[in-house]
Structure 1
Amino acid sequence: MERDEARGRPRIGVVGLRRGLHLAEHCPRVGLEVVAACDLDPAARAQAAPSLPGAVVAERWQDLLDADLDGVILANDFDAHAEPAVAFLERGVHVLSETAACAGVEEGRCLIAAADASAATYSFAENFVFHPHVRLLRAAVDAGEIGRPVLVEADYLHGMAPEAVDALVGDPAHWRGRIAATAYCTHTLSPVLALTGARPLDVAAHTVDGDRPGSAAVLVVRLSTGALAVTRHGFLQGEPDSHWSWISARGTRGLAESVRAPGERSWSLRVRTEAWAAPGGEVRDEERVPPPLEVGGGTVQRADEGTVLVLERFRATVADGAPPAVGVRAAVAASLVGVLGAESLAKGSAPVPVPDFGADTGSEPGFDPDTDSAVG
Structure 2
Amino acid sequence: MRGFVQSNTAPVTHVGVVGLKRGMVLARWCERLGLRIGALCDHDPDLLTAAAREFPGAARLTKWEEMLDRGLDGVVLANDFDQHAALAIAFLDRGVHVLSETAACVDEAEGQALIAADKRSTATYSFAENYVAHPHVRLIKQIVAADEIGAVELIECDYLHGLAPADVAALTGDPRHWRGRISPTAYCTHTVSPVLDVTQAWPTEVTALPVQSEDRPMATVLAFRLSSGALALTRQTFLQGEPDSHSSWLSVRGTRGLAESLRMPGEAAWSVRWRSEPWANDGHLRDETIVPPPLTLTGDSTVPRGQEGSALIVAAFRDTVTASVPPRVPVRPAVAASLVGVYGARSLAEGSRPVALPDVSAW
What is the TM-score of this pair, normalised by structure 2? Answer: 0.95
The residue identity in structure 2 corresponding to 1:133 is H
The answer (yes or no) to whether the contact 2:40–2:52 under 8 Å persists in 1 is no
Gaps of 5+ in 1: 1-5, 361-376
Look up the match of 1:287: 289
CA distance in 2, matches of 1:282, 1:147: 16
SS across alignment from 1:233 = strand
Look up the match of 2:167: 164
CA distance in 2, matches of 1:44, 1:337: 32
Which of residues 133, 155, 161 in structure 1 aligns to 2:136?
133
Superposition pairs for residues 268-283 of structure 1, below 5 Å?
268-279=271-282, 281-283=283-285
The residue identity in structure 1 corresponding to 2:352 is S
Worse overlay, 111-120 or 208-217: 208-217
CA distance in 2, matches of 1:329, 1:359: 9
Which of residues 295, 298, 305 in structure 2 aligns to 1:296?
298
CA distance in 2, matches of 1:311, 1:103: 24
For residues 250-278 of structure 1, give each alpha carbon's deviation from its aligned partner in whole angstroms, at most 9, with x where no partner exists: 00000000011011000000011221112
The answer (yes or no) to whether the contact 1:330–1:359 under 8 Å persists in 2 is no
Look up the match of 2:6: none
The answer (yes or no) to whether the contact 2:10–2:34 under 8 Å persists in 1 is no
Which of residues 206, 223, 228 in structure 2 aligns to 1:225?
228
Look up the match of 1:64: 67
Look up the match of 1:144: 147
1:167, distance to aligned residue in structure 2 (A):
2.3
The residue identity in structure 2 corresponding to 1:157 is L
Identical-pair percentage = 59
CA distance in 1, matches of 2:233, 2:307: 26
Which of residues 294, 314, 317 in structure 2 aligns to 1:314?
317
1:212, distance to aligned residue in structure 2 (A):
6.6
The residue identity in structure 2 corresponding to 1:282 is H
Look up the match of 1:50: 53
Structure 1 segments, 4+ long, off by >3 Å, are none
Look up the match of 1:198: 201
CA distance in 2, matches of 1:274, 1:224: 26
SS across alignment from 2:361 = coil
Look up the match of 2:217: 214
SS across alignment from 1:239 = coil
The answer (yes or no) to whether the contact 1:40–1:59 under 8 Å persists in 2 is yes
Which of residues 97, 103, 108 in structure 2 aligns to 1:105?
108
Taking structure 1 as reference, are residues 198 and 8 closer, same or farther at Cα in structure 2, changes over 3 Å only?
same
The answer (yes or no) to whether the contact 2:140–2:259 under 8 Å persists in 1 is yes
CA distance in 2, matches of 1:332, 1:138: 21
Look up the match of 1:341: 344
1:82, distance to aligned residue in structure 2 (A):
0.2
CA distance in 2, matches of 1:91, 1:296: 33
CA distance in 1, matches of 2:120, 2:333: 17
1:166, distance to aligned residue in structure 2 (A):
1.8
CA distance in 1, matches of 2:337, 2:10: 35
1:334, distance to aligned residue in structure 2 (A):
0.1
CA distance in 2, matches of 1:353, 1:42: 44
1:35, distance to aligned residue in structure 2 (A):
0.8
Look up the match of 1:78: 81
The residue identity in structure 2 corresponding to 1:285 is D
CA distance in 2, matches of 1:84, 1:206: 32
SS across alignment from 2:190 = helix
Superposition pairs for residues 116-131 of structure 1, below 5 Å?
116-131=119-134
CA distance in 2, matches of 1:113, 1:211: 38
CA distance in 1, matches of 2:320, 2:193: 19
CA distance in 2, matches of 1:61, 1:187: 26
1:7, distance to aligned residue in structure 2 (A):
9.9
The answer (yes or no) to whether the contact 1:180–1:214 under 8 Å persists in 2 is no
What is the TM-score of this pair, normalised by structure 1? Answer: 0.92
SS across alignment from 1:243 = coil
1:282, distance to aligned residue in structure 2 (A):
2.3
SS across alignment from 1:272 = strand
CA distance in 2, matches of 1:212, 1:284: 46
The answer as to 2:34 corresponding to 1:31 is: yes
SS across alignment from 2:76 = strand
Gaps of 5+ in 2: 1-8
Look up the match of 1:258: 261
1:8, distance to aligned residue in structure 2 (A):
3.0
1:214, distance to aligned residue in structure 2 (A):
2.7
The answer (yes or no) to whether the contact 2:11–2:322 under 8 Å persists in 1 is no
RMSD between superposed Cα atoms in Å: 1.4
CA distance in 1, matches of 2:95, 2:341: 29
Which of residues 14, 17, 22 in structure 1 aligns to 2:17?
14
The answer (yes or no) to whether the contact 1:12–1:72 under 8 Å persists in 2 is yes
